[in-house]
């Protein structure tokens, strides 16, 4: 019988925030979620999260996981937090204690720890180059663990110890309860320290990778943890056949899928279950949120794509914005300064420059000229623009919706289209051009003279 207790009631004072610390995102995911997912991977009999500070917010956040909650009314230290979960501790079971502020721990490490422990009380330790802030593991001359001393209680000698307590423990239920009952708060912080459970003998399981056990207490540590997570994730994709130019500036959310031979340039954000097929190029500065991108697509620099579909062979950007509900069927081109919203483009259609297409349904092989605007909004309601196959929309056209344009239509540049157009038609709406000889220069000269007379 294994129970996992996750400590998440602390004030998180050092974050200086209105938000609970464990809900801060590390590499695109709230820290507590990493701990819950790690716990789930161990298939325990129960998972209990100890909440306290902003308990409701934390519990609400975790509502979809089937886990239990304990409430620590006052944050009087880590031992007190475990006490708050006492009812969930089975005398004959094992208890794994984790903290909600350690997003980097790996499943293999915890599994190795659980398998190897022989004593009733055990914890993971690691040697840190900069142990500052962590509890130090004090050992006797025979190497047995004597105690863990917190930074604030440590003397000069103890501060020089670089083996630290990671805050991960595995205990026999009954023994844990017995030792918890003996803990007092005679220390620098007047807190009940969980670390004091090791005083009557404990096994320290020394691990190798100090990054894994980084605890996040402030925003600098949050940033460090995020960078490591992002980098680890990027490297996993690289080993699976994705080229990433700079894993240090590649921000991929957990759960994003990327196909082989896709190339990702620096400063790219792939968020929210985005799916990218094989052989896609994503240039620098792009953010894709909930996007589906088929094979052989190029997304050029500084493009934002939200909740949209990009069919194979298409090219998008630079500096394009695909808002939710955009759908490019196949071999489309969406060029610079083009914004799409709930716009569908059929195979082979193009909007290459400076265009807004909102609430639009566009057929195959349509060319949308530079500066085209669908006027889809009357200040209160939205209307649809429908453009059938093989249409050519000349530059600087306004399509005042609702409006329907038939197949093979030619719309002359500079037109304001307010009426439907039949198949094969031409639509032109401009005032006839009037050329007046010499008039241009005459007006300019007059303007110039006016300016000079003012000097």
Q: Where on the chain is the footprint of ligand UD1 (CB under 6 A)?
A: 7-10, 50, 52, 72, 75-78, 80-81, 99-101, 134-135, 148, 150, 164-167, 193-195, 215, 217
| Longest CA–CA separation in the chain, Å | 106
Structure tokens at 156: 């000069």
Nearest approach in angstroms of CB 15 to ligand UD1 is 10
Nearer to ligand UD1, 189 or 424 (CB): 189
- Residue 183 contact among Ca ion, ligand UD1, none, beta carbon within 5 to 8 Å by kind: none
Nearest approach in angstroms of CB 164 to ligand UD1 is 5
Nearest approach in angstroms of CB 278 to ligand UD1 is 41
Nearer to Ca ion, 10 or 28 (CB): 10
Query: Does residue 7 sit in helix, strand or coil?
Result: strand
Nearer to ligand UD1, 9 or 234 (CB): 9
How many helices and strands (H and E) does the chain possess?
A: 8, 37
When CB distances to ligand UD1 are compared, the closest residue is 135
Distance CA 135, CA 162 (A): 10
| E-state strands within 324-445 | 327-328, 333-345, 350-362, 367-368, 373-375, 385-387, 392-393, 398-400, 403-405, 410-411, 416-417, 426-427
Q: Name residue 71's beta-bridge partners.
A: 51
Q: Name residue 411's beta-bridge partners.
A: 393, 427
Nearest approach in angstroms of CB 393 to ligand UD1 is 58
Query: Is 353 noted as a catalytic residue in this protein?
Result: yes
Nearest approach in angstroms of CB 35 to ligand UD1 is 9
Give the residue among 360, 413, 15 at the shortest CA–CA distance from 216: 15
Query: Does residue 290 sit in helix, strand or coil?
Result: coil
Q: Name residue 292's beta-bridge partners.
A: 275, 309
List C-alpha distances in Å: 203 to 79, 91, 146. 18, 20, 10
Nearest approach in angstroms of CB 115 to ligand UD1 is 22
Query: Does residue 123 sit in helix, strand or coil?
Result: strand
Give the residue among 190, 182, 22, 7 at the shortest CA–CA distance from 81: 7
Nearest approach in angstroms of CB 20 to ligand UD1 is 8
Contact criterion met (CB below 8 Å) for 274 and 292: yes
Q: At what angle do helices 31-41 and 107-116 cross, to 10 degrees?
A: 50
| E-state strands within 259-393 | 263-264, 268-271, 275-276, 281-282, 287-289, 292-293, 298-299, 304-306, 309-310, 315-316, 321-322, 327-328, 333-345, 350-362, 367-368, 373-375, 385-387, 392-393
List C-alpha distances in Å: 341 to 32, 434, 443. 35, 38, 44
Nearest approach in angstroms of CB 265 to ligand UD1 is 36
Structure tokens at 315: 């090219």
Q: Name residue 356's beta-bridge partners.
A: 339, 373
**Positions that interact with Ca ion (CB under 5 A):** 101, 215, 217
One of 353, 384, 404, 407 is an active-site residue; which one?
A: 353
Catalytic residues: 353
């Amino acid at each position: 019988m294994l129970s996992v207790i996750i400590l998440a009631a602390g004030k998180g004072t050092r974050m200086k925030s209105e938000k609970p610390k464990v809900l801060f995102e590390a590499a695109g995911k709230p820290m507590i979620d990493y701990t819950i997912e790690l716990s789930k991977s161990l298939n325990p009999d129960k998972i209990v999260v100890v909440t306290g500070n902003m308990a409701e917010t934390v519990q609400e956040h975790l509502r979809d996981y089937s886990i239990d909650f304990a409430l620590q009314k006052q944050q009087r230290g880590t031992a007190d937090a475990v006490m708050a979960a006492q009812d969930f501790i089975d005398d004959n079971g094992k208890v794994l204690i984790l903290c909600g502020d350690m997003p980097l721990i790996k499943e293999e490490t915890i599994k190795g720890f659980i398998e190897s422990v022989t004593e009733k009380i055990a914890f993971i330790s690691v040697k840190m180059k900069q142990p500052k802030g962590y509890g130090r593991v004090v050992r006797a001359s025979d190497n047995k663990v004597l105690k863990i001393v917190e930074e604030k209680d440590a003397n000069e000698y103890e501060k020089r110890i670089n083996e630290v307590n990671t805050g991960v423990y595995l205990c026999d239920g009954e023994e844990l309860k017995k030792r918890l009952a003996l803990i007092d708060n005679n220390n620098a912080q007047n807190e009940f320290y969980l670390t004091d459970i090791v005083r009557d003998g404990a096994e320290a399981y020394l691990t190798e990778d100090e990054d894994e056990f980084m605890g996040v207490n402030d925003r600098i540590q949050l940033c460090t943890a995020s960078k490591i997570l992002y980098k680890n994730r990027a490297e996993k994709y690289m080993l699976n056949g994705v080229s990433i130019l700079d894993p240090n500036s590649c921000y991929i959310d957990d759960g994003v899928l990327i196909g082989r031979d896709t190339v990702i340039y620096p400063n790219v954000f792939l968020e929210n279950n985005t799916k990218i097929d094989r052989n896609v190029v994503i240039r620098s500065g792009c953010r894709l949120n909930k996007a589906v991108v088929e094979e052989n697509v190029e997304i050029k620099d500084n493009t934002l794509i939200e909740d949209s579909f990009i069919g194979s062979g298409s090219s998008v950007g630079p500096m394009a914005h695909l808002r939710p509900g955009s759908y490019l069927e196949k071999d489309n081109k969406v060029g610079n300064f083009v914004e799409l919203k709930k716009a569908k483009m059929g195979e082979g259609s193009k909007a290459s420059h400076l265009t807004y297409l909102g609430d639009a349904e566009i057929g195959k092989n349509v060319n949308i000229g530079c500066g085209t605007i669908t006027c889809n909004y009357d200040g209160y309601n939205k209307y649809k623009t429908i453009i059938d196959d093989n249409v050519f929309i000349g530059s600087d056209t306004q399509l005042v919706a609702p409006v329907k344009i038939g197949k093979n239509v030619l719309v002359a540049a500079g037109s304001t289209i307010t009426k439907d157009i039949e198949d094969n038609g031409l639509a032109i709406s401009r005032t006839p051009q009037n050329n007046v000889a010499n008039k241009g220069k005459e007006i300019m000269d007059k303007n110039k003279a006016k300016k000079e007379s003012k000097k």
